[in-house]
A and B are shown apart, each in its own frame.
Chain A
Amino acid sequence: MNGSVLAINAADLWFDWEIDTWPLLMALLVGLSCGLLGTVFLVRRTALLGDAVSHSVLPGIAGGLLLAGYLVKQDDGHVFGTSTTMLFIMGGALLAALASTMLIEALHRYSRIKPDTALGAVFPAFFAAGVILIRIVARNAHFDEDCVFYGSLEVIGEGSQVLPTLLCSILVILFFLGFYKEILITSFDQQLSRSLGLPTGLVNLLLVSLLALAVVVAFEAVGAILVIALLIIPPATAQLLSYRFDRVLLLAAFFGLSAALLGSWMTILLETVGFETARAPTVAVVAGLQFLLALTFGPEQGLLVQGLRKRALKSRILEENLLGAVYRLGGNPPAEPVLLEDAAARLGYAPAKLSSALRRCISRGELTVEEAAVSLTPQGEQKVAEIIRGHRLWESYMIHEMGAAADHVHDAADQIEHHLQPGLVKELEELLGNPAVDPHGSQIP
């Protein structure tokens, strides 16, 4: 029989539903609500408000616990999950979050302090007060300090612990369904929103309250630090992929959910091969990987696509320069064939640099080669005429309309000729009255 310690049971690689259901559900709900709420704060350019709120709730949590300790006598050893205590914690956290955001707002409105300074001054103060209070509370109640900062999805063992998060997520979804247009307009243009008489202040207040709520219910699961990762990274990933607010919201929710799922699963995988990790950080790492992937492979703004586009532009310019050199060196029709070396010398390139451009021009039927000499086909001639037309029109425009000196315009025209759109060429023609020759006396084809 196989007695090796290294033998891995296939079942270990997958979720063990008895143990993993509740932590997974918790992570999914946190990912979902943080993704949606985070998007709003991200597009409002106040992404760090999530940071501030997630730290500011701490004194509220501690205060709520303290109060609950006095008022609720029975202590069953659990702090989170017991409903009465949880209500105190929620209430305290909500108050602390609202107090800190209002204080930040008031500081910058009624003093000369800038918003970022106000934010940076307020939330560490709240956080520090929270840490001190937590120390006091920790003596009286069973309270895992580490979990406040780093989170511990593993400790969630029953459905009742997920219930507050579930309720919060439902509230968040209802809020977005009901107030979508108000969320959009207040995020884009508060003044317009107020000038239309929309409940701008109410929407702002609800947003901060829901953020506070989401942060508090996420606290035990992912901790104060990692909740920020889920508030900022999935929305940032989503924004790389779409420029429509509704789609960015859906994508952010999707990335929040999938980071939670993949992160949880990866933790199980890593555990199976002997790496003991924690779920919350793994979820955050997955979110970071999603961001990197979107940044690299995004269809519109991705670095890869941008790089490819730049390369394509570079080779198009090279081809157009080659055609131009053959045209200019060939002389007036009937044109003479041109040696590739001569064309390269005119452009200031090594001949080898032109070989791939030459191959592409030949394959498109714009150039033909005979005994190392290159000549334009009729198709190539037509294309080059258009480019040179743009070039010479631009030179005329620079000299006649912009007052540039005749010997200063060629280099600029060399650059611009590759980028002139047909519409702009037409505009130049009309502006200049369809000239037949350029300022240097060359014919405009």
Chain B
Amino acid sequence: MSAPPIEIHDLTVSYNQKPVLWNIDVEIPEGALVGIIGPNGAGKSTLLKSVMGLLEPSSGWVKIYGDPIEQQRATVGYIPQREEVDWDFPITVRDLVLMGRYGHLGLLKRPRAADRKIADEALEKVGMTAFANRQIANLSGGQQQRIFLARALAQESRVYLMDEPFAGVDATTEKAIVKLLEQMRSEKRTLLVVHHDLQTASEYFDHLLLLNRRLVAFGPTGEVFNEELLRKTYGGHLTVLSRAGEAIRQSKSGKK
């Protein structure tokens, strides 16, 4: 049997010595469209960043098709939250999307005509062709999210990690993104999407990962989207975990 697209084993991640994710153990099956849901501060973004290798875990590991992420960079595309970049940066929409190709180019190499073509096609898929030569600062929130998606499409990855692609977008964009996600799933790509809206979560995703500092549940939407598990995810039974985390931080940072 071939290795799964994402395997997370006993992963614990800390910020400033304070664990924010505890002992996550999960295997994401090929071709799944997974929604990650959980309350604010549950560690949803932290989980994605850890899979991407952007954060060093305190313990445990992540494997992509059986390899460490460093050997599978081209396999995994990452879409950060929109707020994480400076939208006043002097760059056009087309050049931003073209950045998705940089991983395929060697050091010192410039994008070629073929890369530009792929970037333009990605822009067309998200309906932003007319904006190709605009500065990114003049875009609405929904348009910003679309070009982030276009950049990810240009990466041509098999696995995608998306941090809140639906945050602050208009209804038209939301529909366009859902359509795009479904199209990507039909191409057998594996998608991990942080989502904050419970109402649509069961409708958009075929698998759900319920997260609140620890893994509450992972499985097909029909099996895990129920009141008991949601209450466990959003309920306030975390005092022990947060107090333990705070205690670790304090003793490790040398405070009393």
Q: Chain A: residues with CB nearer than 8 A to chain B?
A: 43, 45, 110, 178-182, 184-185, 187-189, 191-199, 239, 242-245, 248
The closest CB in chain B to the CB of A238 belongs to B90
B149 to chain A, nearest CB (A): 13
CB atoms of B102 and A185 under 8 A apart = yes
Q: Which residues of B contact A245 (CB under 8 A)?
A: 89-91, 95
Chain A nearest CB from B15 CB (Å) reads: 11
Q: Is the CB of A244 within 8 A of B73?
A: no
A selection of 20 A-B contacts at a CB cut-off of 8 Å is A45-B86, A180-B110, A181-B105, A182-B107, A184-B95, A188-B85, A188-B89, A188-B96, A189-B84, A191-B80, A192-B151, A193-B102, A196-B103, A197-B70, A244-B90, A244-B91, A245-B89, A245-B90, A245-B91, A245-B95
Chain B interface (Cβ < 8 Å from any Cβ of A): 16, 49, 52-54, 70, 73-74, 76-78, 80, 84-86, 89-92, 95-96, 99, 102-103, 105, 107-111, 135, 137, 151, 155
Whole-angstrom distance between the alpha carbons of A245 and B96 in the complex?
A: 11
A181 to B49, CA, bound (A): 23
Which residue from chain A places its CB closest to the CB of B17 in the assembled complex? A110
Q: Which residue of A lies closest to B77 (CB)?
A: A195
In the bound assembly, the distance between CA atoms of A191 and B108 in angstroms comes to: 20
In the complex, what's the smallest C-beta–C-beta distance from A144 to chain B, in angstroms? 39
> In the complex, which of the residues A195, A197, A242 contacts B90, with contact meaning CB atoms closer than 8 Å?
A242
Residues in A whose Cβ lies below 8 Å from that of B155: 196
CB-based contact A198/B102 at 8 Å: yes
Bound CA span A198–B52, Å: 13
**A193 — nearest CB in chain B belongs to which residue?**
B102
Query: Contact: B110 with A189, CB < 8 Å?
Result: no
Residue numbers in A under 8 Å from B86 (CB-CB):
43, 45, 188
Cβ of B78: which chain A residues have Cβ within 8 Å of it? 191-192, 195
A180 to B78 alpha-carbon distance, docked (Å): 22
Q: A293–B155 Cα gap in the complex (Å)? A: 42
- Smallest CB-CB separation from A178: which chain B residue? B108
Contact assessment for B89 and A179 in the assembled complex, using a CB-CB cutoff below 8 Å: no
- Bound Cα distance A206, B167 (Å): 36
Q: Are B73's CB and A243's CB within 8 A?
A: no
Contact present for A179 and B108 (CB under 8 Å): yes
Cβ contact within 8 Å between B85 and A189: yes
Q: Could you tell me the distance between the alpha carbons of A187 and B89 in the complex, rounded to whole angstroms?
A: 9
Q: A185-B99, A188-B91 are in contact. List 19 more A-B contacts (CB 8 A).
A: A43-B89, A181-B110, A181-B111, A184-B91, A187-B89, A188-B85, A188-B96, A189-B84, A191-B54, A191-B80, A192-B80, A192-B151, A193-B102, A194-B53, A195-B73, A195-B76, A196-B73, A197-B73, A245-B91
How far is A195 from B69 in the complex, measured between Cα atoms in Å? 9
B73 contact set on A, CB distance < 8 A: 195-197
In the bound complex, CA of A427 to CA of B54 (Å): 44
CA distance A441 to B75 in the complex (A): 62
Closest beta carbon of chain A to B132's beta carbon, Å:
12
Most buried by B among A185, A195, A248: A195
Assess whether A239 is in contact with B107, with CB atoms less than 8 Å apart. no
Tell me if A239 and B80 are in contact (CB < 8 A).
no
- Report the separation of the CA atoms of residues A122 and B52 in the bound assembly, to the nearest whole angstrom: 33
Residues of chain A within 8 A of B111, CB atoms compared:
181
- State whether A43 touches B90 (Cβ < 8 A): yes
CA distance A242 to B110 in the complex (A): 22
Name which residue of chain B comes closest to A187, CB basis.
Answer: B89
Determine which of B52, B84, B137 lies in contact with A243 in the assembled complex, contact meaning CB atoms within 8 Å.
B137
Of B91, B95, B135, chain A has the most CB atoms within 10 Å of the CB of B91
Taking CB atoms, residues of chain A closer than 8 Å to B80 are 189, 191-192
Contact of B102 among A178, A187, A196 (CB under 8 A): A196
Shortest CB–CB separation between residue B196 and chain A, in angstroms? 20
**A248 → chain B closest CB, angstroms:** 5
Distance (Å) between the CB of A181 and the closest chain B CB? 6
Residues in B neighbouring A181, C-beta threshold 8 A: 102, 105, 109-111
User: What is the minimal beta-carbon distance from B127 to any residue of chain A, in angstroms?
Assistant: 15
Distance to closest chain B CB from A384 (angstroms):
31
Q: A189, A244, A248: which contacts B95 (Cβ < 8 A)?
A: A244
A179 to B99, CA, bound (A): 14
Bound complex: CA of A320 vs CA of B54, how far in Å?
Answer: 56
- State A195–B53 Cα separation when bound (angstroms): 7
Closest chain A CB from B237 CB (angstroms): 29
Residues of B within 8 A of A182 (CB): 102, 107
Which residues of chain A are near B16, meaning CB under 8 Å? 110
- Inter-chain contacts of B137 with A (CB < 8 A): 243
The answer for the CA separation of A197 and B96 in the assembled complex, in Å, is: 17
Task: Indicate the member of A179, A185, A191, A192 with the most B CB atoms within 10 Å.
Answer: A192
Q: B110, A243: Cβ atoms under 8 Å?
A: no
Cβ–Cβ < 8 Å partners of B110 in chain A: 180-181
A110, A189, A194, A239 — which one has the most chain B CB atoms within 10 A of its CB?
A189
Determine whether the beta carbon of B90 is less than 8 Å from that of A248: yes
Closest 5 CB pairs of A and B: A196-B103, A197-B73, A243-B135, A195-B78, A243-B90
Q: Which of chain B's residues have a CB closer than 8 A to the CB of A188?
A: 85-86, 89, 91, 96, 99
| Chain A residues, CB < 8 A from B85 | 188-189
Residues of A within 8 A of B49 (CB): 191
Which residues of B lie under 8 Å from residue A185 when comparing CB positions? 99, 102
Which residue, A178, A182, A197, has most C-beta atoms of chain B within 10 A?
A: A197
CB neighbours (8 Å) of A187 from chain B are: 89
Q: Within the assembled complex, what's the spacing in Å between the Cα atoms of A191 and B76?
A: 13
Q: In angstroms, how far is the closest chain B Cβ from the Cβ of A256?
A: 17
- CB-based nearest A residue for B155: A196
- The CA-CA distance from A197 to B102 in the complex, in Å, is 10
Q: Shortest distance in angstroms between B75's beta carbon and chain A's nearest beta carbon? A: 11
A178-B108, A179-B108, A189-B85 known; A195-B91 Cβ under 8 A: no
Q: Are A198 and B90 in contact (CB-based, < 8 A)?
A: no
Report the separation of the CA atoms of residues A50 and B54 in the bound assembly, to the nearest whole angstrom: 27
CA distance in complex: A194, B56 (Å): 13
- Assess whether A192 is in contact with B95, with CB atoms less than 8 Å apart: no
Q: Known: A191-B78, A191-B84. Is A197-B89 also a contact (CB below 8 A)?
A: no
